[in-house]
Amino acid sequence: MVAPGGRASKVPAQLNGVVPGGVESRLAWVREKPTISRYLAATRQLRLLTPPDWPRVRVAVLRNFTVEPIEAYTCVKGASAGIAVDVQIGGYDTAMRDSLITDSWLFDYQPDVVIIALSLENLAPTFFNRFLTLSAAQANEAAQQTASIIRQIVSAIRERTTATIAIHNFALPRHSLEGLAETRSMTSLTSRIRSLNQELVALASGMGNVFIVDFERMAERTPIDARNWLVARAPFTPLILEELSDVYARILRARAGRSRKVLVLDCDDTLWGGIIGEDHIGGIRLGEAYPGSAYVGLQEAALNLSKRGVLLALCSANNEADVDEVFDHHPSMVLRKSDISARRVNWIDKATNLRAIASDLNLGLDSLVFVDDDPHQCEMVRTLLPTVLVVQLPPEPSEYRAAIESLECFDAVGLTDEDRRRVELYRNEQAREVARQSASSLDEYYRSLEMTAEVGRIDEISATRIAQLTQKTNQFNLTTRRHTAEELVHLAGQPGVEILSIRVRDRFGDAGLVGVAILVPGAHADEAEIDTFLLSCRVLGRGVEDVLLYATAIQGKAMGYRCLRGTYVTTARNQAVATFYPDHGFSRHVEDDTSWSLVLGEADLAVPGWFATITLPSNMKIGAVTA
Amino acid sequence: MIGAADEVRLKQVLAEIFELDPSTIDGTTSSDKVERWDSLQHISMIVSVEQEFGVRFSEEEMSELLSFERLRLALASKLTQ
């Protein structure tokens, strides 16, 4: 669906060296004067300039008013994130038809994202424009009808596509209809639209991969253009177009797996005011009184992010003991050492340190967001590591908290419990690292972990996590094919298909579901194709991939296949697994040089001896491959 | 009248919206001669000209500004005010 790629997320100014020059100069031209005409012209030019290896995302818009300029805005914002966007806009007021009829363009188009942008004024004109002529019962009925229309549209799309669905909620009336009384009424137009919008949230929360575009809030901040609305049913002002396309771009980035995962923080004048090495623990500014309160605010924002599953790291030029002292003894510290998943507190340059932090966490540099107050440090990182998102703190301390909270790069499609636990998982990883250093041999170290691996088949519960791994895994991923949960559940029901996943636990904790293998029928009747083979980077280097490949081979054999065919699709990020198949006894295919075959039964696949327990699904038995 | 530089900017906006070569835009360029000058692109053009020059056209003007010439005149009266 979405092709591989590992480029930076939004924030256009960051993209030097990431987006090709021709594309970057077009984006800069739009940024210089962001008029609708420049967006339109740039979009036409970008179509010719877009690199072929960018992920392509198809966006369908169902609407009942004039939205057209949003196409160009979305394409330009997509290009800023290294995503090639194609937009199809449905007929004026045909949203119902587009989603309900079987031979609709919508399904032929195979959208990755469907946006439902409906104006309440057009959808329920009497309700919106003559509200006070309606009885309470009539008003209620109109609201229910509206909710039902949207429910039908969304359900129809969800049944037939795996697209991410984004529903615009409704703007509130600009002025109250009932004066002061409106403020205390549960049945006013304002209250009714608010509950309608709540119903949309309920609808989204009950379905996979459905989001709300908060048009209510947007229209409150910046009113629609009344002139263009009446003249052409075109309500979007340039400002709304900017905000709306930013939201769409956020959805596109999440869909294309471009979310960032780590917030790397400087210490002096970032986590606290002042220089700990000079001001000492009593002299730094941190606490209830301004400006210390601003630093508390920044730390609280970071803490909230970590509870969402974002990893925190420190990268600062200090003596480690000084920083330890603040963490251990300053009464106003919000962050604890246990909140920090990686740290480089030393006198080495920050670019080197950021590389080390990325490698500690087994993540790419494009997963990092770096926060620092010092413009020179920020510039150095921007220059040397262009894929790191650099956040330079604003001049006023009161803006620090918002500088962190306004980061929109940490979205993942389908937040799972494992996201919330990821922080804990990495902490366990650190404990493992300590153990690794003390074990005399690697083999001994692995044994000391008392690892257990459990291979299972996909089910409704694991589908979301499996889909998320296909979306987010870039390094140990042989084909980098992105799938949604709905696609996977559908695929699993097809003949000759098996979707396996692996869970790993050790004495430090439960790593959760960390690997996926998907077998589909190959080109020849007796051949199974390995559509997907991936492993989360948090368990790299422990032989988990050997267990998964072993189980995959056994499963292939149990399904009656004679051989497995594995393909390596090269991306910017997966060089480490280029020789995975040949390293595991697969032989190169004669017809092409990117796929390898393994004849089942002949090969010598084995599982590492250091696993304490390996559990396979019921019809598989250990030993079947080499037998 | 608007200055030469402003005229270039106006032609540029029209060229971007309607996919024209700016050098072909002159006093005869109007909605009935330009294929892409439909009601939809008209709104985008009006708003783009407003953004480019920092002006606002009235509701009445919106429906009248259907040629380069009229745009140029309307703009001239706004920019000299």
Q: Give the number of A-B residue pairs with CB atoms closer than 8 Å.
A: 51
Domain range enclosing A576: 444-615
- Total residue count of chain A as it appears in this document: 627
Q: Does A308 lie in the same domain as A247?
A: no
Cα A401 to Cα A387: distance, rounded to the nearest angstrom: 23
Q: Is the per-residue pLDDT at A12 higher than 50?
A: no
Shortest Cα–Cα distance, B45 to chain A (Å): 7
**A12 found inside a domain:** no
Q: Is residue A249 part of a domain?
A: yes
Q: Are residues A221 and A290 in the same domain?
A: no
Mean pLDDT (chain A) is: 87
A6 pLDDT tier (thresholds 50, 70, 90): very low
Q: What is the mean pLDDT of residues A167-195?
A: 95
Chain A residues closer than 8 Å to B13 by CB: 35, 37
Together in a domain, A197 and A269:
no
Domain tally, chain A: 3
Q: What is the pLDDT of residue A608?
A: 85
- Chain B contact for A38, CB < 8 A? yes
Same domain? For A137 and A109 the reply is: yes
Sequence letter at residue A16: N
Query: Are both A158 and A306 inside the same structural domain?
Result: no
- Provide, as residue numbers in chain A, all residues whose Cβ is less than 8 Å from the Cβ of B43: 66, 228, 231-232, 234
- Say how far apart CA A408 and CA A400 lie, in whole Å: 15
Q: Are A109 and A44 in contact (CB under 8 A)?
A: no
CATH classification at residue A495: 3.40.630.30
- DSSP, residue by residue, A495-543: TT-EEEEEEEEETTEEEEEEEEEEEEE-SSTTEEEEEEEEE-GGGTTSS
CB-based contacts of B57-65 (< 8 A; 24+ apart in sequence) = B59/A227, B59/A230, B59/A231, B62/A227, B62/A231, B63/A231
List the Cα angle A219/A225/A230 in 5-degree steps. Answer: 120
Question: In this structure, are A169 and A241 located in the same domain?
Answer: yes
Choose, out of A30, A33, A37, the residue to mutate when testing the contact with B (most B CBs < 10 Å).
A37
Report the complex ipTM: 0.96
Could you tell me the pLDDT band of residue A574, with boundaries at 50, 70 and 90?
confident
C-alpha torsion A83→A86→A92→A94, nearest 10: -100
A164 part of a folded domain: yes
- Confidence at B80, pLDDT banded by 50, 70, 90: confident
Q: Give domain B4-80's CATH superfamily.
A: ACP-like (1.10.1200.10)
Q: What is the pLDDT of residues A484-493, one digit of tens each?
A: 998 999 999 9
- The answer to whether position A22 is within a domain reads no
How far is residue A473's CA from residue A471's CA, in Å, rounded to a whole number?
Answer: 6
- Residues A63 and A209 both lie in one domain: yes
Check residue A418 and give its pLDDT: 53
CB crowding A86-100: b at 16 or more within 10 Å, else e: bbbbbeebbbbebbe
Q: Can you give the CATH number for the domain in which A229 is found?
A: 3.40.50.1110
Annotated domain spans of chain B: 4-80
Distance CA A465, CA A417 (A): 9
Question: What's the whole-number mean pLDDT along residues A528-551?
Answer: 87
Cβ neighbours around A359 below 10 Å, total: 12
State the pLDDT at residue B24: 95
Q: Would you say residue A423 lies in a domain?
A: no
Residue of B44, B45, B50 to mutate for A, most A C-beta atoms under 10 A = B44
Together in a domain, A398 and A516: no
Query: Do A298 and A174 share a structural domain?
Result: no
